[in-house]
Structure 1
Amino acid sequence: MKIRLLNKLLFFYCCTLSISCNHSYQKVGFQEGDLLFQNLNCGELCNAIEAVTEGIDGKDFSHIALVVNVNDTLKVIEAIGNNVQINSLETFFSRSGDTAKIENVTVGRLKKQYKNLIPKAIAEAKKIIGQPYDNIFLLNNGKMYCSEMIYEIFKESNKTKDFFVLEPMTFKDPKTKVFFPAWVNYYKHLNKEIPEGLLGINPGLISRSNKISILKIENYK
């Protein structure tokens, strides 16, 4: 009896502080505007990204995409590969080893009070299809990386005011405080300086936003 009472008090406390209750799981189907958080298996670079970017509930994310309706079919718009592009849900989930059942992707949805931003954000996303992928991870350089695309389209939808927050980027191992060798080699190959400390955004940071709810969706078919 005491344990049940304690659990209820903890639940109320969390809700009051808007911590865990912001991310309660719900069994629902996909909607246009949903955000898909993914753990890509791209080797050392993805591992380095995940080591310095904490996702909701301690999950690792290295990619994010936006669900859109195209001719009555749900697809995703994402910055991946060479550019911003539209792909099928099957293509997206296959990267995580998911078939019809979703096990390795986390789904986020804007809370009710922010849903009015979705149509404009989707329109903005469609405008930049084909824009080059930003492999340097810098803001405002005419290119887009995955979470930058989400940040920019919702900023435009929010009357050019930040909707998701930016934070200083780091490319250093949190344990040793030195740059990950993967990033050193990566930027050396690009002949660019590592943008340590510059403002940026990542999928993990977006997943922890108090403006979205995390959903339980079991399949996409």
Structure 2
Amino acid sequence: MHRLLYIGIFFELAACTPKHPKPLPGDLLFQVGRSSAMNEAIAEATDNNNELTFTHVAIFFEEGGSDSVLEATSPGGVRITPLQEFLDRAERVKGRPGVVVMRLRDTAGLARSVKRAKEYLGLPYDFSYRPDNGRLYCSELVWESYRDTCGRRIFPARPMNFRAANGAMPAFWTELFEKLGEPIPEGVPGTNPNDMAREGILTEVGRYF
């Protein structure tokens, strides 16, 4: 009787414990960012037909046998981050990290994409959100790294929108570009995590929540 009770408790606990997905090198990890002026401005300006609002994306890979991500962040530029640190930064969804793992339907070029992404390590974060300026923001790192065998980017760039749904320009963007002394790149081709997560070349393979 006691043995049956223990078995029952074991299976109940197992059923209640979320399974962590096991990403493959080259998988993309889309993150629901914690509340900040920058994340809120990104969320306001990007289309969201999903249940979640992604404000960041990173590339999973293994470094020295440890799970890590390649990412472009505003404090650190393009860098390697331990996976657990990346998960800890995410907004909590159901009490767990708000991170979704997505994989290219055609996985043949994943290793090549990771190798290319590593070539950008050390580049500064692209606060200007413009292409080809020697700096990268998070989804721009993915956009530059993932290419077909002919070297063509596989993710599309679309005219960027920095305005909120009501047409107003969030104060964060106005103040940022005033400090940079640059015009807001409204309409300049670019990418964002929300649009990227909806691309048909990707399929969801797991969630951390």
Fold match (TM-score > 0.5): yes
Which entry has the higher C-alpha Rg, 1 or 2?
Answer: 2
The residue that corresponds to 2:82 in the other structure is: 88
1:180: which partner in 2? 170
Say whether the 8 Å CA contact 1:79–1:133 is kept in structure 2: yes
| Corresponding position of 1:148 | 140
Distance 1:133 1:103 in 2: 24
- Per the alignment, residue 193 of structure 1 pairs with 183
SS in 1 for 2:112: helix
| 1:64–1:218 distance in 2 versus 1, CA, 3 Å | closer
User: By how many angstroms is 1:141 displaced?
Assistant: 0.5
Note if contact 1:68-1:76 (Cα within 8 Å) is conserved in structure 2. Answer: yes
TM-score by length of 1: 0.78
CA apart distance, 1:30:
1.8
Q: How far does residue 159 in structure 1 lie from its aligned partner after superposition? A: 2.3
Matches within 5 A, 1:25-40: 28-40=21-33
1:75 and 2:68 aligned: yes
Residue number in structure 1 paired with 2:159: 168
Q: Which residue in 1 is equivalent to 2:204?
A: 214
Deviation (angstroms), 1:190 = 1.4
Percent identity, aligned pairs only, is: 27
The aligned runs of 1:62-141 (5 Å cut-off) are 62-80=55-73, 81-96=75-90, 102-111=96-105, 114-141=106-133
Higher percent of residues as helix: 1
Tell whether the 8 Å contact from 2:100 to 2:208 is kept in structure 1 after alignment. Answer: no
> What is the CA distance between 1:28 and its match in structure 2?
4.5
RMSD of aligned residue pairs (Cα, Å): 2.1
Question: Helix, strand or coil for the counterpart of 1:36?
Answer: strand
CA separation of 1:44/1:217 partners in 2, compared to 1, >3 Å: closer, same or farther?
closer
Structure 2-normalised TM-score?
Answer: 0.82
Cα distance, 1:158 vs structure 2:
4.2
Q: Partner of 1:85: helix, strand, or coil?
A: strand
The letter for the 1-side match of 2:173 is: W
In structure 1, C-alpha distance between the alignment counterparts of 2:208 and 2:141, rounded to whole Å: 26
Check whether the contact 2:46–2:161 (CA below 8 A) recurs between aligned residues.
Answer: no
Any runs of at least 4 consecutive aligned residues in structure 1 with deviations exceeding 6 A, and if so which?
Answer: none
> Does residue 48 of structure 2 align to residue 58 of structure 1?
no
Question: Deviation digits for residues 138-187 of structure 1, max 9, x if unmatched?
Answer: 111011100000000003x5422231111101111221x23112211111
| Equivalent residue pairs, number | 188
The unaligned stretches of length 5 or more in structure 2 are 1-18
AA of the residue aligned to 1:187? F
Deviates more, 1:74-83 or 1:34-43: 34-43
